Amino acid sequence: MGSRIRLVVSDLDGTLLSAEHRLTKRVLEAVGRFREQGGLFTLATGRPHLTARHIVEELQLDIPYIACNGSVLADRTGIVEARTLPLAHLAGLVEEADRRGADVLMFREEEVRIFRRTQEIEEYERKESVVCRVERLKCGQWLSYDVHKVILMGPMEVILPVWNVFKPVLGGHYTALQSESNYLEIVSRHCTKGAAMSQLAHKLGIPRHEIMAIGNQMNDLDMLQCAGIGVAVGNSHHELQEAADYVCEGSHGDGVIEALLQFAFPGPGQAWPALLRAGQP
């Protein structure tokens, strides 16, 4: 392959997927062409393997991908490596978030647990094509669970003050990452997309300067910083755009195509990039 970029790592929701949370034909073609020329392509997503695997199959990824914001490394056959956190350590945070009306989602290997069904939970289920299982908060069984991550879902003006109360106690062991306008994700302090991407690149024998990372939210920040080229798609959080090496004009998957054309292909003059720019849905 004539390009210096050998590995492209893309976020999923808000980045590779369209606003309707699907892969477009144009994105699939662009990723396929990059791989045909010898490039390696994978994902780094906040989604668990449970809800990402159908997209992994559609992309036909042939190398591992990063799930749960760096807590999980998986491939098409299942979870390869995972770091869990005990819910008992987060009991105070979880209970206070629930008391203030936030939705709490607890991610185990093959299921997502919640404390109650709400309209927001139903929207999450539709988006992720998953059915969450209701857990009784007062029974306390959930305290025995080890999970890959926890999401506090709701208005940030409600959720952030809860995290700030518990941060002095929990901050040494856990990190809070905003992955959507209404998602605050709690993961192990050492689990980030950037750390997982660096680990994967080391296993693949690819140096930092041959990696391009693409994202749209602040949980993608360290991934962009750990790559040779960090790209923010056009619909990205303004702080991520400020930190990126390149900000796309295009949003979502169109931005990913733009970044591939800009940095991952040998040069202009190929017929198919012109088709992609003019593109089909």
pLDDT at 25: 95
The CATH architecture annotation of domain 85-188 reads: 2-Layer Sandwich (3.30)
Q: What would the pLDDT profile of 2-24 be if each residue is shown by its tens digit?
A: 458 999 999 999 999 999 999 99
CATH class belonging to 7-82+191-264: alpha beta
Reported as a pLDDT band with limits 50, 70 and 90, residue 145 is: very high
Average pLDDT over residues 113-127: 95
CA 255 vs. chain centroid, Å, equals 16
Confirm if 135 and 106 have CB atoms less than 8 A apart.
yes
pLDDT at 267: 61
The residue that leads in pLDDT, 4 or 161, is: 161
Confirm if 222 and 208 have CB atoms less than 8 A apart.
no
Three-state DSSP state, 21 = coil
Reported as a pLDDT band with limits 50, 70 and 90, residue 179 is: confident
pLDDT at 281: 55
Does 244 have pLDDT greater than 90?
yes
pLDDT at 265: 83
Residue 139's contacts (CB-CB under 8 Å, 6 or more residues apart) are: none
pLDDT at 269: 41
Reported as a pLDDT band with limits 50, 70 and 90, residue 221 is: very high
Residue 199's contacts (CB-CB under 8 Å, 6 or more residues apart) are: 73
CATH 3.40.50.1000 residue window(s) in the chain: 7-82+191-264
Which residues on neighbouring strands pair with residue 211, listed in sequence order?
7
pLDDT at 1: 43
Which residues on neighbouring strands pair with residue 176, listed in sequence order?
186
Residue in 213, 230, 222 with CA at minimum distance from that of residue 194: 222
Cα separation, 198 vs 253, in Å, equals 23
Helix H segments across the chain?
25-36, 49-59, 91-99, 119-128, 156-170, 193-204, 221-226, 238-243, 252-259, 271-278
CATH 3.30.1240.10 residue window(s) in the chain: 85-188
Q: What would the pLDDT profile of 38-80 be if each residue is shown by its tens digit?
A: 999 999 999 999 999 999 999 999 999 999 999 999 999 999 9
pTM of the entire predicted model: 0.86
Torsion sign over Cα 153, 155, 156, 161: negative
pLDDT at 276: 53
Does 271 have pLDDT greater than 50?
no
259: left (phi over 0), alpha (psi -120 to 50) or beta: alpha
